[in-house]
Structure 1
């Protein structure tokens, strides 16, 4: 039954009230309100746009929502279909696509984002967020000239000090990467320490971009100038933990450490910051200090498996193996069942890299007492790693037995994949079996399980 005008008004008021609370339970209640409006009222772009907004916020709160980003895009696209002249809807879709950008080199997605931001400013040139998004998107696309053009064009529409700072940062990056001189006037907002900013997704993506192009010789000198601008900008982040994370990511470890210490002055009971500080100290090879940081993190949150794993790794570096074993046991205990294998394998690999093969073998065997060995990818990886370590110890017969068992498992798995018609899985599983024992080439060539693949070129190459 269609909703009355009064019922629509009540639902909208309830949805806004829930939205303002911004906690997960309230957001879910707001979502229910918009679901009712969309299902029981005449189609209206506002309902779809607001539902997209709520879904997007929820996705930022939890990893496993009952919907995904495509559902958000579908809702905002419906809003655009119902009201194609509202620029803000295009800007919102561009922002959602930016949020879901899986790789900064995903050109197709970046072009979609660029198109939406362009549509927004064509319909509403006062939308500062779309202008800033256009500059950032063109930087990721290596379109320095376009980025500089948008930087110049948007000046009349960038009103707040915060937006002026972000515009200056992106514009100066584009100038640096293009190899153009940067005027002091363009850099002026970067020196205004009265402006502070919260962490935003664009900061992380630009940081990732700068780190990605660093090794490229064509950008060597340009990159240095761009990094000078970027580091000036990072100083404006008001959250010292976020600042530390960006600096740590960019391998400015000493500066990152200072940021974490500043954060801990403000909130000494943040286990996350203690953990971040410990990771940075580890990269600086200051292992005793790192250990103290991880122990403090564990004191504040004893059930955090990542802190126990980090503590374990530092103890290995300090050659305190008995304590490292205990930390590893605790990490495995706290880790969800599906993730226990990689925890155990990582510890064994750490020990093996140090040439501590007896301890590495002990770590594998001990872990298996806590983790039931299976026939999945981790079970097979465990067998192969154990065989490698036995070989290093000169225990060749035992290694051969483990290799044989692992090869047999991989081959059996490849046969099952062939019967299921999963060609891509056959390729790598059969390859793993053959790496361990070449006899599986002949077996596969005469095994009816692979009959449908005998003429496949990839199959011929693998068993050739």
Structure 2
């Protein structure tokens, strides 16, 4: 492919400048060449070379407004705001109609978190600029800083009306719609945008992502299909396409989409996991476990991989293997509540009650406050005869689940088991008030207590009242 004359000249200027630095010879560049060289080094993150170029540029063109504005931009970047502001005021006295002066003033105000003043300066820049898209984009960013998402969205849309290829503005428009919880409005906007710019793979991808978010998987798939047709190496679109196909239960096609991401880039643990899930849904257990193993090999820290293998064997009721894999997971991360809960559930299924109790205790310790975890833990303690510990645990659980009948029936039963009839009655009455229809739970958990006359009297009296 041949380079344009502008690209040829640009590359020649860079080569000439770097040659000058190596040989200490002084070559002449016009001010615009210097601006391009300086901005090139800034974009590359080579600040020291940019500063060298700026010094040489100002030596050769001390009165160039463009170079002074570049210098001001660098001063702002270095947080030398007062010096930059002074220079801007001097330039303003000479060129009051230069939009770049207002843009740099806005940058200073933005750096000082004075976003309302930054917006005032950018509004002034709009009256002088030919590059409306850039100013609208900057206005959108200032409104984002102020958390004014509606006005941010408005300005990013205005930016795209001028420059439809501005991808950052497109992403920001979608971000504003999402933050404002307007997914359908975002899809409608993208539909209009696509009618004007049908080959924007970004727009198709975003439309697909939003459709997926509202569970419109057919339209999501259609959007991802277009995105991947436009860009045959769009990994993110292939990944999302696979997810949509999976939701539509088109598992073989989903596998193809996920496999495509692996062809385009090194395999990701997420793609391998999804392929394993699809194979499991297809009933191909051998391929499913093959890909689950590849998932944890690729990323041993991905808990979803270990959970997939463990749950796979739990569903097969192969608790020995399930326990083997969850123990491997715990050897890598022994503070993972998801692992500990599975460890506890598996041991409970295998009638290893002490290990199960330990597992539930660790799950709660590391942040699993789901009601079923507390209840399984308490029921295991009851089975082991640890009534005092069970009561303490139930009291703790009641702080998270106030007025829960399952907790109250258990507290009642525990106190009656310990012959504390006063507290037993208190919690039994509370449980009956919350949910008397499920009182058979009390009978199932505490059949001996249920048959006591003192308990039956409390239940009968409550039901009659």
TM-score (norm 1): 0.51
Residue 341 of structure 2 is aligned to residue 345 of structure 1: yes
Distance 1:125 1:265 in 2: 34
Distance 1:90 1:336 in 2: 51
- Which whole-Å deviations, capped at 9, do the CAs of 1:224-274 have from their partners, x for residues lacking one? 5x4573353254352456513443245143222112223334556544432
Aligned partner of 1:259 in structure 2 is: 257
How much does 1:133 deviate?
Answer: 7.0
Contact 1:274/1:297 (CA < 8 Å) preserved in 2? Answer: yes
Contact 2:235/2:261 (CA < 8 Å) preserved in 1? Answer: yes
Aligned partner of 1:230 in structure 2 is: 223
Distance 2:192 2:385 in 1: 66
For the pair shown, which has the larger CA radius of gyration, 1 or 2? Answer: 2
Provide the secondary structure at the position in 2 that maps to 1:142. Answer: helix
Question: Mean Cα displacement is larger for which, 280-289 or 109-118?
Answer: 109-118
Within the candidate set 386, 398, 408, 2:377 is matched to: 386
Provide the secondary structure at the position in 2 that maps to 1:37. Answer: coil
Q: 1:141 to 1:305 in 2, by over 3 A?
A: closer
Residue 359 of structure 2 is aligned to residue 367 of structure 1: yes
How much does 1:49 deviate?
Answer: 6.8
Matches within 5 A, 1:82-93: 82-84=121-123, 85=126, 87-88=133-134, 90-91=136-137
Within the candidate set 139, 154, 172, 1:115 is matched to: 154
Aligned partner of 1:244 in structure 2 is: 239
Q: 1:143 to 1:11 in 2, by over 3 A?
A: closer
Aligned partner of 1:280 in structure 2 is: 278
- Which whole-Å deviations, capped at 9, do the CAs of 1:380-423 have from their partners, x for residues lacking one? 864422235678xxx4x848666523222245xx4xxxxxxxxx
How much does 1:328 deviate?
Answer: 0.8
Contact 1:344/1:364 (CA < 8 Å) preserved in 2? Answer: no
Contact 1:94/1:116 (CA < 8 Å) preserved in 2? Answer: yes
Distance 2:355 2:284 in 1: 25
How much does 1:326 deviate?
Answer: 1.9
Contact 1:240/1:259 (CA < 8 Å) preserved in 2? Answer: no
Matches within 5 A, 1:245-324: 245-249=240-244, 251-252=247-248, 253-266=251-264, 270-324=268-322
- Which whole-Å deviations, capped at 9, do the CAs of 1:347-397 have from their partners, x for residues lacking one? 555x59xxx73458576345369x486496649864422235678xxx4x8
Within the candidate set 408, 423, 445, 2:395 is matched to: 408
Q: 1:149 to 1:406 in 2, by over 3 A?
A: closer
Provide the secondary structure at the position in 1 that maps to 2:45. Answer: helix
Contact 1:387/1:403 (CA < 8 Å) preserved in 2? Answer: yes
- Which whole-Å deviations, capped at 9, do the CAs of 1:35-77 have from their partners, x for residues lacking one? 6336565368569879x9xxxxxxxxxxxxxxxxxx9xx6988
How much does 1:276 deviate?
Answer: 3.1
Distance 2:40 2:389 in 1: 66
Q: 1:126 to 1:304 in 2, by over 3 A?
A: closer
Structure 2 residue ranges without an equivalent (≥5): 1-35, 48-73, 86-100, 127-131, 413-422, 428-465
Within the candidate set 400, 403, 406, 1:431 is matched to: 403
Residue 209 of structure 2 is aligned to residue 205 of structure 1: yes
Higher relative contact order (CA 8 A, sep 6+): 1
Distance 1:204 1:366 in 2: 45
Aligned partner of 1:55 in structure 2 is: none
- Which whole-Å deviations, capped at 9, do the CAs of 1:301-329 have from their partners, x for residues lacking one? 44544322222122222333222112112
- Which whole-Å deviations, capped at 9, do the CAs of 1:3-62 have from their partners, x for residues lacking one? xxxxxx999776532299xxxxxxxxxxx9976336565368569879x9xxxxxxxxxx
Contact 1:390/1:398 (CA < 8 Å) preserved in 2? Answer: yes
Aligned length: 322
Contact 1:410/1:432 (CA < 8 Å) preserved in 2? Answer: no
Residue 187 of structure 2 is aligned to residue 142 of structure 1: no
Provide the secondary structure at the position in 2 that maps to 1:18. Answer: coil
Contact 1:134/1:147 (CA < 8 Å) preserved in 2? Answer: no
